[in-house]
Structure 1
Amino acid sequence: MTRPALSIKPPPRQGGAALLAAMLTVTLVATFAAAALWQQWRSVEIETAERNRVQASWILLGALDWSRVVLAEDARSDKGQPVDHLAEPWAVPLQEARLSTFLAAQNNVSQVDDGMADVQEAFLSGRIVDLQSRLNLRNLLNAPDEPQTLAPLTRLLGRLGLPPAYGQQILLALRQATSASEGAQPLMPRTMRQLGWLGMPPAMAVRLEPYVALLPTPTPVNINTASAEVIWASTDELSWAQANQLVQLRAASPLRTLADATRLLGLPNPLSATGFSVFSNYFETWGQLRLGEVIVSERSVLRRNGMTVNTLWRERGAPPPPA
């Protein structure tokens, strides 16, 4: 009886393992390549954003210099009798416009060459605001009679539907911030939105911003640019109807002197020269540049002394001033 021959199976082929190793190698190479490509793209995007930010900063600095020139030329034209009103060139806001129209305008036709391709998508907007069209909180710190000093701010708060008690809180906080005593004391704010440092609710600071300012020195209110609320609150000699009437009269013809306002309203007594004026020395400029996806805004406070216009401070990323 013969035994069946034993069958010997060949060893399994290594082709499957080699294919798997090759696929893993390709996957790793693709992953490393994708990571390197992403890092390169990220570096390019960061460099582009930084370049746009620097360009925007220089352009906004040029816009600030342009604002100073406008205010200086306005002082030159009014050198004999300084008057500032809302019909002057500085008071006209600059709506968003393509920057190339300012840089390459020739014969009323905008011409942009290849070297200015980067500014074709740049848009500039801005405005100049008279800060003496608002109540100056600095006046609260330079008058000895506290009830009389607080009267304008108290009237304004009541007119705006805000608690008049906040006037006393603001006065005490400002005095504490400017005191030379040692110990914990709040920082002196520069803008209305920073009044939160003194304990004021942010919503109230935003509500007051169109009507109140905080300037380095005491200032009168410009009756040519102030709102009816500010004019009415600045003195108890005017009724609300007279304040609105004054705003309507100046729209037809700017007031050249305080005597013009007294005459037009038929007031028995002239307006106080310490509380009112027809010209201003403090202005706020705000500019915004939109360059591609980058938006840069800047706000500055300017002080004009004759034909000299100085920048007191600048703030990057500031919101637009209230209209």
Structure 2
Amino acid sequence: MISPPLSGCAASPQGDATGGLARPAPRWHWPGPRPVRRERGAALLLAMLTVTLVATFAAASMWQQWRAVEVETAERGRVQSTWILVGALDWSRLILREDGRSGGADHLAEPWAVPLQEARLSTFLAADKNVSQVDDATTDTTEAFLSGQISDMQGRLNLTNLVDNGNVQTLALRQFTRLFERLGLPLQELSLLTDALRRAQATTGTDSTNAPLLPPTMSQLGWLGLAPTTVARLAPHVTLLPVRAPVNLNTADIDVLLAAIDGLDMASAQKMLQAREARHFRTLSEVRDLLGASIDINEGAHAVASSYFEVRGRLRLGDAMVDERSLVRKQGIEVTTLWRERGAFDRETAPGAREAQR
């Protein structure tokens, strides 16, 4: 018996029964690794990770730099706005000081009563060496606009007149009662306001322990329990001065006139407005002659001159807008700033409203 050929070996010609040729032995190849291709893939992945990290760090650095620039720009704008508004306040004080030199009555035909409409700030800056600030590249005032106005605070009813040394003043209470009725405000809030002012001024007794804080400005009247809508309605007609002060009949609007003068009707109030538009009241005697002896003009409650004014300024610098208001006191040629506050304030008198008051 002929044994089969070994695996991988060709059979001899004699052992092939068919006499055919033997098959060639198969060639085996060892499947080894491909190191070159794997190294290329790892290098590409490492390069992509490196680029990603570099881009991330670069973006973070640019964002921090942008943020620092924005913060610096905002701070610079704030400082510039502060100094510009301080300059506007000093300018207003100068106007009131010049008004104090002339003395006499304060009325709506004086220079201080003319509001400053929004104007480019560069128009107020003096030229230096025959070069205007508009043409000076070192001064960026092309996008700065200034507006403002001076208002007579004694042309309104003074809340401080309501209470004196813890006692409610009858005349002032009648004035505020008429004002609340004319504005359609509930008299319960007037009672609440009067009681809160009385307790705020209390220095001894049980009321002093639970007394509310006396608000320094009209915007804080909510401390005394008034509703925000009531405060908003009262704002154009009421003020809160540090001392008792009479109402200036030359600058008060018709609502304040009707509230401030006992027995004054609408026809007489219109007559007062027409008379002072033609010629302001120089003395209270002129008001008495106009209204007649039946209407009492009290020197303690009425006047034709003022000492307290509110100065408002608004600066628009690019997209930013800054409002500031200050209370100043005029005593002769001395004008003193009592307080200043900054924020987003609504205009109490729109353009042309002052003309309507006349």
Identify whether the pair has TM-score above 0.5, normalized to the shorter chain.
yes
Quote the Cα distance in structure 2 between the aligned partners of 1:54 and 1:96.
20
Once the two structures are aligned, what percentage of the paired residues are identical? 55
Question: Number of paired residues?
Answer: 318
| SS of residue in 1 equivalent to 2:338 | strand
What is the Cα deviation at residue 113 of structure 1? 3.2
* Contact residue 258 and residue 270 of structure 1 kept, 8 A: no
- 1:292 and 2:318 matched: yes
What is the Cα deviation at residue 59 of structure 1? 0.7
Quote the Cα distance in structure 2 between the aligned partners of 1:173 and 1:158.
20
Task: Evaluate the alpha carbon distance shift between residue 116 and residue 272 of structure 1 in structure 2; reply closer, same or farther with a 3 A threshold.
Answer: farther
Which one is further off, 60-69 or 109-118? 109-118
Quote the Cα distance in structure 1 between the aligned partners of 2:170 and 2:304.
26
User: What residue is the counterpart of 1:277 in the other structure?
Assistant: 303
- 1:70 and 2:95 matched: yes
| SS of residue in 2 equivalent to 1:71 | helix
* C-alpha distance after superposition, 1:195-242 (max 9, x if no partner): 111111112101100001010111110011001111111122211221
What is the Cα deviation at residue 259 of structure 1? 1.4
Quote the Cα distance in structure 2 between the aligned partners of 1:301 and 1:269.
32
- 1:155 and 2:178 matched: yes
Unaligned runs of 5+ in 1: none
Quote the Cα distance in structure 1 between the aligned partners of 2:122 and 2:284.
43
* Contact residue 193 and residue 202 of structure 1 kept, 8 A: no
CA RMSD for the aligned pairs? Answer: 2.0
Quote the Cα distance in structure 2 between the aligned partners of 1:111 and 1:285.
26
What is the Cα deviation at residue 11 of structure 1? 1.8
What is the Cα deviation at residue 117 of structure 1? 3.1
What is the Cα deviation at residue 22 of structure 1? 0.8
User: What residue is the counterpart of 1:189 in the other structure?
Assistant: 215
What is the Cα deviation at residue 48 of structure 1? 0.8
Quote the Cα distance in structure 2 between the aligned partners of 1:46 and 1:139.
46
Quote the Cα distance in structure 2 between the aligned partners of 1:166 and 1:148.
18
User: What residue is the counterpart of 1:174 in the other structure?
Assistant: 197
One-letter identity of the residue aligned with 1:97: A
What is the Cα deviation at residue 5 of structure 1? 2.7
What is the Cα deviation at residue 186 of structure 1? 1.8
Unaligned runs of 5+ in 2: 1-6, 9-24, 350-358
User: What residue is the counterpart of 1:8 in the other structure?
Assistant: 30
Larger Rg over CA atoms: 2
What is the Cα deviation at residue 40 of structure 1? 0.4
* C-alpha distance after superposition, 1:16-48 (max 9, x if no partner): 222122111101100100100010011011001
TM-score by length of 2: 0.84
Counterpart of 1:209 (choices 221, 235, 253) is 235
Counterpart of 2:278 (choices 240, 252, 257) is 252
User: What residue is the counterpart of 1:135 in the other structure?
Assistant: 157
Counterpart of 2:252 (choices 197, 222, 226) is 226
| SS of residue in 2 equivalent to 1:53 | helix
* Contact residue 97 and residue 335 of structure 2 kept, 8 A: yes
Counterpart of 1:27 (choices 34, 49, 52) is 52
Larger RCO: Structure 1 or Structure 2 (Cα < 8 Å, ≥ 6 residues apart)? 1
User: What residue is the counterpart of 1:313 in the other structure?
Assistant: 339
Quote the Cα distance in structure 1 between the aligned partners of 2:52 and 2:195.
69
One-letter identity of the residue aligned with 1:98: R
Quote the Cα distance in structure 2 between the aligned partners of 1:145 and 1:27.
76
Task: Evaluate the alpha carbon distance shift between residue 72 and residue 212 of structure 1 in structure 2; reply closer, same or farther with a 3 A threshold.
Answer: same
TM-score by length of 1: 0.93
* Contact residue 163 and residue 169 of structure 2 kept, 8 A: no
- 1:114 and 2:136 matched: yes
Counterpart of 2:105 (choices 83, 90, 112) is 83
Quote the Cα distance in structure 2 between the aligned partners of 1:174 and 1:54.
38
Quote the Cα distance in structure 2 between the aligned partners of 1:156 and 1:259.
25
